[in-house]
Amino acid sequence: MQKQREIIKSGEKVQKKLIFSDFVIPFLAFIIFIVLTIFVYIPMITETVELNDDTKNVISKQEQMKTLQVKIDELDGTQLYEDYQIIDQVIPTRLEVADFVYFVDELAKDKGLKLNEIRASNSDITSEDSSLDMSTVSGPLSYEGNYTDVLSFLEDLQKSSPYIVSVNSIDLSNISGKRWSFDITINGYYLSESVSNVDPYQTFVPYTNFNNLVEMLRNRSKLLD
């Protein structure tokens, strides 16, 4: 019984010794820990994560560049230059209205067609692909002649044109018997001279994968010789 009283008195003494100042240091330490966590530890962790992401991104781009270099090395440099020259002829950076109209009119004369009217001008093409800055020589032309000659002209316009052309509209009307008149709108395409930025990290597809298109361009270039 005496020992229990002594233990109780000892506990009372301990409780009496715990005053407010005893909590100041732990409280300040806790505040300092919170401040360090917010302003030091969390930013350090965030920066480390971002640094890891940047490192992975750099490594990924390095792998892309290595793959691109391999694909480029596989191309025949001499053939590449020759094909570039061909494309530059067939899809020039400038197509004069007079040159294009002269080609169309000469073809029409060869087919025995009579010219009624020619109106042509340069215009730009709006494309969803910003990397393609295309323009056209576009113009309505009016001719008349036999129906078979008209069909022959339209067929050879696509086959014998050294340029990339498209027919937008045709309006045929019979004059008398086998004599027909027709109004046609033709576009001749060329690349604008502005230089577009090239993203080296885009998926690279060698032009040699499109053999049919390349062969078609080579054949058209022969018409300019």
pLDDT per residue rounded down to tens, the chain (225 residues)? 555 555 444 554 445 455 656 666 676 777 777 777 777 777 777 877 787 777 888 888 888 888 888 888 888 888 888 888 887 777 777 777 777 788 888 888 898 888 887 776 666 554 444 445 667 787 788 889 988 888 888 888 877 777 778 888 888 888 888 888 888 888 887 776 655 566 777 777 888 888 887 887 788 777 666
Residue 203 DSSP class: P
Spatial distance between the Cα atoms of 7 and 11, rounded to a whole number of angstroms: 6
Angle at which helix 97-110 crosses helix 147-160, to 10 degrees, equals 140
**Model pTM?**
0.50
